[in-house]
Structures are given as C-alpha cells and as structure tokens.
A and B are shown apart, each in its own frame.
Chain A
C-alpha cells in the first residue's frame, strides 16, 4: 500500500492516520524489527524508520540516545535498508527518516534504487529542504518514492507553497519550535500551521501529518481533530529505552501505547 492510500483509507474511515517512528538498530537489528512489527500490528498506518546519524540536530535526548546506541551497536546504512524490507513486507507503507549526509554518501540515485528494492515508500528529510534537493527529487521521481519535506510554524507562506508543491505522500508539519521529544501539552501552533498549509498548498489532496511530541491517546485525539496524520516518535522510543532490560515487557508496553494512540486517532 502506498503512503497516500494509507492516509486515504484513514480519511475514508473518518479518522486520522497514526504514523509511528523508531530508529533502526535499537536495541539491535532484530529488536527494532520486532518492535516495528508490534507497532504495525497494534494500529500504526504508516511507519517511519530512522537512520541513526552521528549529528542529529533536530532530535531531542530520547531519540539521540537510541540512535547513538544503534550506531555503537554497529548499525549500518545497509542494516537500515534490511529493516525497511522486513517492515515493508507487512504491507504497511514504510518510509526512512534520515539526515542528508548518509544518503549523499551512499549515492542519491543508488539509495533511491536500494530503498525501492527494499519495498520502502520514500524518505522524510529533516535537514533537506526542496530548494536544496534537486538530486533527491529527481531520484525519487525516477523510482516513484515519496518525498516528505517539512513545514514549520516559522515557514513563510511562500515556502509552504514551494515545499508542499514538492511533497509526495504527505507533508510533515513540525508543529512546535524545538527538537523532537514528548511534551505534556499539545502546541497551540499546530492548528494554525495545518490551516495555513491546507490553504497555501497547490495539492489539496496532500495529507498533512503533524509531529509535536504526542505521547498518549488523548493528545492524539486532540491532534486528530485538525490533522490528517498524527506522528509519534519519542514516546515509542522512550518506551523501548524504559524497558531496555526486559524486551518482552518493552514490546508489551509498546503494544499498549500503540493501541492507546490508535484509539486516539479514532477520536478517543
């Protein structure tokens, strides 16, 4: 299933899509695959797999800790692609979220080809904006991959129009000014950003996914009222970090959290 059709299915059910993130390689290769499969099984509509990177400037302490552990555990770019292959085999659209340099190093065209071969849906690029992405845009178009760029509360109207014009799959609205991380209250910036994005885009059907530190079903329900997708990352990662000594308990907690969030995107 494509990312767009996963969003479309959620829309047809009168709800938001649940988009779940974990980095590859944490706690190890198999542990990450098991965790992602639990998230798929318990209700995630779209999966984002993080490519662990040494200099993750947009990530808060939780995701940094897991990514660093994954790197120290020897996770390579090819391992991330193997993770994609295992998760995409479930049929759920599976994207890679990555800082730019590892893709550039692998070779942009070659990465696009390998990702497509692995069944991956596309890339989310937190430090690559469309105006600096001609090579990636060409490669993604060639291999029919999703191009998910970000918009932010600080984006000008012109940039929201420019960015959404280049997106495929969905547009990622970072609805807080700050790094990734679970927050206790949802941001007041999210609603207006989604409204602006919907108003300014030349692609009215492009779904808007919102990431702002959602960590429970009640927050997911709040965000689901105005967003097409609720993106959750740090809360999943924290669940794994909190259960690092007991994987079975970690997977059980991950299932409980996913189910809670899945109820949330259905309105609670």
Chain B
C-alpha cells in the first residue's frame, strides 16, 4: 500500500482518520459500519468531542482529573537490572501506577467528562476481564453518573473479584449469555442497549476500536501516555528512544503511546499481539499477524474470521488481549509498514512476567507482560545493532494484582511444594 502524500497542513494527517473515520484513505481502514439508528448519536458524539478538545475549560478539567485523581503523569523508569540483562537501555512507562491499576482510567475519565458535558446522566460499558468495567464504574462514581456494565457470563464467573469491585463502586453488572458469552458479545449487548437508550445514555467504549469516532477519540484520551513518555525521554535522557513497544488487544494503550511518535520516523513502533498457544494453532488473539481484513463492531480492520466472515473466538491467557479484532489505526500502521506487529505466546508472556517481578520488583498485568516479552527480543536485536546506548521504551500498561489468580495457577504458586515460580529458572 502506498503512503498518502497529501499536502494538508496537519502534520499528523497521514496517520489520522478523515472526517468519516477512514484511516489510510477512503475505504481502507476504520469507517463506520453501524445501524442507522446509531448514526445520529455517533455524529453528536463526534461533534461534542471535537468541540470539547478545542475548549480549554474541558482539557483543563480533564488534565486536573488525571493529575489529582488518577495520579498521572506516570513515571518513566529506567529498568536497570533488566537493561543489564538485555544489553541496552529499557525504559518502562509506569501506567501500572495509575488509579485503578492501568492506563484505562485516562480513557474513561475523558469519556465520562464528555458525557457530563453532553448532559447525559447514564453510561454503559462493555468489559472482558473487568478492567474497563472497573475503570468505567470508577469514573461514573467520580462524576456521579449511573453506570451499567455488560460482561460475558463466562467472564463474570472467571472474574468474580472485578464484578464485586464494580458493584461496590455503585454500578450494575449485566452478565451476557449470548454468543460465546465473552467480550465481543458484551460489546454486542452494550450496542443493543445503546440503540434503545441513546437519547440519555453514552457508551464508554473501552478501546480504540469500533465505529468512528471511537478509534480516534479513545486514542486522544489515551495519548497522554505517549506525550508524557516522549517528553520524559527527552528530559531524562536527552533524546528519543530507538523503539517503542506496547501490547495490542483492541489497542488503546498502544495507540496512546504510538500517537506521540508517529512523525518521529527514526523511532520504530512495535505492537505485540496475543499469540495464545501459538499463531500456528487456532488458539490465539493475533488478528494482524494471522487474520484478514473485514468488518467487526463498526470498523474495517484485521479480524479473526472463518471463510464465511463469521467471527472466530479468540484465545489468550490475558483477558484484556482476548479480542478477535483490533483498532483500525493499528491496521493502518501495520498495512503501511509504520508499525511492526508480532505475536507473543502465553508462555513467553508469563516468562516475562516472572522475569520482571524478579529483576525489577514489578508484577505487570499479563497484557503488559506481552509488551515486555516482545520488547526484550527487540532489545536484544537493538543491542546487537547499536550497542548499550540503544533505548527501548515499553508501555507497562497495567499492574498484575488482578491476574494473581491466573498467575498462581500457571506457576503452581498455591501448591504446597512449590516455592518459586517455574517460569524462568536458570
């Protein structure tokens, strides 16, 4: 695919969506494949978001909420022991330290503030493992909004602790029994609610996917990750990293990070998809690597589908990456070659989780462990090519508290005889 060499004044124009939500030119990626019943609401949302982002009162209030409530900006941390191990500098953007434990608080505070500005009193959200649901419930409590979270029935059983958190925060949790009873079905059910209640309800979409304007809007609410990290890199290390790495499910943390570096053509962008049992098996969640283009949840993107265009269920040890599609801007970055997307298997991610815990005293979310695993491979390549001064910036998008059940089971940490994680014994 050739790059658009348009002459618009916006420098980010090539990577950004047009007015209809197309990335990479009309008909390429993204767009808005949605029922007519929701078009007016999506247009209203697009207009409100565009207007809000140009209004200093809104951006100031958003910045204040991120600072005073969510504890941001997050630090940029030089992981020295990990760096020694791979032979070049590894920097971690510590989104795991944000309120509720992940970058997701940025997006929900932005969307909930916009909801308030639009005069709507109710929000709905979908959630897989419950992280976006907990973040949405948190933002709803913060802004005094009524909140309903749709969650696949399989997931409500797997993630009882997060269900309890959402309830404690005052939200209603609706188990979704239809389809595969997981994240994609929760999105379907949230869309059905939205169609019926669109006049007074906002849909807090959890990732940079879906119909226009969600891919662009969620990216913009999350792009503080990259803007902060870029400034921190320059201030703390006097230059930009050679590479930036993030995990990609729907892709909000990754696009929030990448957005700041798109025009820095010397900075390589790496997205790591969930490889599950391996992309040579049917059990993975790597639509860019192993899927084809199609339309899911309102956008043309890469997705996991069968010969008839029916969505295939994804599989990953990480619930947050367990989604058969991906945000359309990632599809465009991949197709254009600006971004490099690789799969990381469950095993590789869990090894990296264990490694980071032991070498740095940081237990990452399993999602973020995919970024760490992939970044370590890239770091070794960089070290070989450029030496110890090479730098890779990794988005540590969330912390691992929520995953301890999975981690205990995976490493057998609850077993009487086991005293160490078996992930990477020498």
Contact = CB atoms under 8 A, between A and B. Distances in A.
Interface of A: 53-58, 60-61, 64, 68, 71, 76-77, 100-106, 126-129, 131-132, 134-135, 149-156, 159, 163, 174, 177-179
Given A56-B188, A127-B35, A104 B309 contact: yes
A55 B294 contact: no
Contacts, number: 114
Nearest to B44: A154
B309 A68 contact: no
Interface residues of B, number: 37
A106 B309 CA distance: 8
Contacts of A77: 308-309
Given A127-B34, A134-B27, A55 B308 contact: no
B230 to A, nearest CB: 35
B196 A177 contact: yes
Interface string B169-200: 00000000011000011001001100111110
A56 B192 CA distance: 9
B35 A155 contact: no
Contacts of B364: none
Contact of B311 (A55, A126, A152, A179): A55
Given A54-B311, A105-B308, A128 B33 contact: yes
B40 A55 contact: no
B416 interface: no
B40 A64 contact: no
Contacts of B294: 101, 104-105
A151 B36 contact: yes
A132 B32 contact: yes
B36 A100 contact: no
Nearest to B306: A105
Given A132-B31, A151-B36, A177 B309 contact: no
A102 B36 contact: no
Interface string B291-321: 0001111100000010111110000000000
B421 interface: no
B39 interface: yes
B168 interface: no
Q: Is the interface of B mostly helix, strand, loop or mixed?
A: mixed
Interface string B268-305: 00000000000000000000000000111110000001
Contacts of B362: none
A101 B37 contact: no
A144 B19 CA distance: 31
A126 to B, nearest CB: 6
B310 A102 contact: yes
B40 A154 contact: yes
A152 B39 CA distance: 10
Q: Which of A60, A68, A104 has the most CB of B within 10 A?
A: A104
B188 A178 contact: no
Given A55-B297, A77-B308, A179-B192, A155 B32 contact: no
A55 B188 contact: yes
Interface in B34-59: 34-41, 43
B308 A177 contact: no
Given A55-B184, A106-B308, 12 more contacts: A54-B179, A55-B179, A55-B188, A55-B311, A57-B297, A58-B192, A105-B305, A149-B36, A150-B36, A152-B35, A154-B38, A163-B36
Contact of B308 (A102, A151, A179): A102
Nearest to B177: A61
B422 interface: no
Contact of A152 (B27, B31, B36, B309): B36
Contacts of B179: 54-55, 64, 68
Nearest to B292: A105
Nearest to B37: A152
A60 B37 contact: no
A53 B217 CA distance: 28
A191 B198 CA distance: 20
11 contacts: A55-B185, A55-B188, A60-B192, A102-B309, A104-B294, A150-B35, A151-B36, A154-B36, A154-B37, A154-B41, A159-B40
B386 interface: no
Which one of A71, A150, A163, A178 has the greatest number of beta carbons of chain B within 10 Å?
A178
B214 to A, nearest CB: 14
B157 interface: no
Contacts of A106: 308-309
Scoring A127, A128, A163 by chain B CB atoms within 10 A of each residue's CB, the highest score goes to A127
Contacts of B41: 154
B117 interface: no
Contacts of A178: 192, 195-196
Contacts of A129: 32, 34, 36, 39
A106 B31 CA distance: 20
A132 B328 CA distance: 15
Contacts of A132: 20, 31-33
A2 to B, nearest CB: 24
A105 B36 contact: no
Nearest to A178: B196
Nearest to A102: B309
Contact of A126 (B35, B43, B295): B35
Given A64-B178, A101-B295, A177 B188 contact: no
Given A64-B178, A68-B179, A104-B295, A177 B198 contact: yes
Contacts of B305: 101, 105
B39 A155 contact: yes
B216 to A, nearest CB: 16
Contacts of A61: 178
A59 to B, nearest CB: 8
B33 A76 contact: no
Contacts of A135: 27
Nearest to B311: A54
Nearest to A59: B192
Contacts of B197: 177
A157 to B, nearest CB: 11
A53 B310 contact: yes
B40 A156 contact: yes
A178 B296 CA distance: 20
A150 B34 CA distance: 11
A177 B311 contact: no
